[in-house]
């Protein structure tokens, strides 16, 4: 067994069928440029339609976003909106379901949620999460259970887990037949 590189890697990846889902990320007050750079990489990997940075979120151009994101901020469509709720209102009017990745009394485990074909996934600040005002504008909230001693994971790790689950949750799987 050996790693694929160059054209063989490109050809291999092209054989995977893209899930029939549309995904948008909204990062509310995500301050750490490492998390924002990682979110750009995840957005690129998932084929996210748009990444929205709000509030005090770190924004390009920033050297850490560029380094960690490996330049994906130039490839992924993104924009800045002061208030997350304004962006959520826009996406809702475009037919998106709004889902916060946050622990609330009404949150369900991410694998039990029924996600619409067009989903706007909201993540919040590294310490205090998604604000109550923004949660009130969401249709649902999901969480990732923690089985260790910590109460949460890093923002970008959680974003990656949830995003791939949403994309692949009813997808028949990649067609990797030769």
Look at the chain and report how many structural domains it folds into: 1
Task: Give the separation between CA 77 and CA 52, rounded to whole angstroms.
Answer: 9
Residue 121, domain extent:
20-168
List the CATH number of the domain containing 35.
Answer: 3.40.1280.10
Reference 157, options 53, 42, 77; nearest CA is 42
Residue 78 located in a structural domain: yes
CA distance 157 to 42: 9
Question: Global pTM?
Answer: 0.92
Q: Does residue 4 belong to any structural domain of this protein?
A: no
Give the position of tokens 């007050």: 29
Q: Let me know if residue 160 belongs to a domain.
A: yes
Q: How far apart are CA 58 and CA 32, in angstroms?
A: 6
pLDDT tens digit string along 32-55? 999 999 999 999 999 999 999 999
Residue 106 lies in a domain: yes
149-171 pLDDT tens trace: 988 899 999 999 999 999 998 76
Examine residue 140 and state whether it is found in any structural domain, yes or no.
yes
């Amino acid at each position: 067994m050996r790693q694929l590189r160059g054209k063989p890697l490109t050809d291999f990846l092209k054989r995977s069928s893209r899930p029939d889902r549309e995904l948008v990320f909204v990062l509310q007050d995500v301050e750490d440029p490492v998390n924002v750079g990682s979110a750009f990489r995840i957005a690129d990997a998932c084929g996210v339609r748009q990444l929205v940075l709000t509030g005090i979120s770190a924004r390009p151009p920033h050297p850490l976003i560029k380094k960690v994101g490996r330049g994906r901020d130039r490839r992924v469509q993104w924009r800045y909106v002061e208030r997350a709720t304004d962006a959520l209102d826009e996406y809702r009017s475009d037919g998106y379901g709004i889902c916060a990745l946050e622990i609330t009394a009404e949150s369900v485990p991410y694998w039990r949620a029924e996600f619409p074909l067009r989903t706007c996934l909201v993540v919040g600040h590294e310490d205090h999460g998604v604000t109550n005002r923004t949660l009130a504008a969401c249709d649902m909230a999901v969480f990732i259970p923690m089985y260790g001693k910590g109460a949460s994971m890093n923002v970008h790790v959680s974003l990656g887990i949830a995003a791939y689950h949403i994309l692949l949750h009813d997808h028949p799987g990649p067609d990797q037949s030769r």
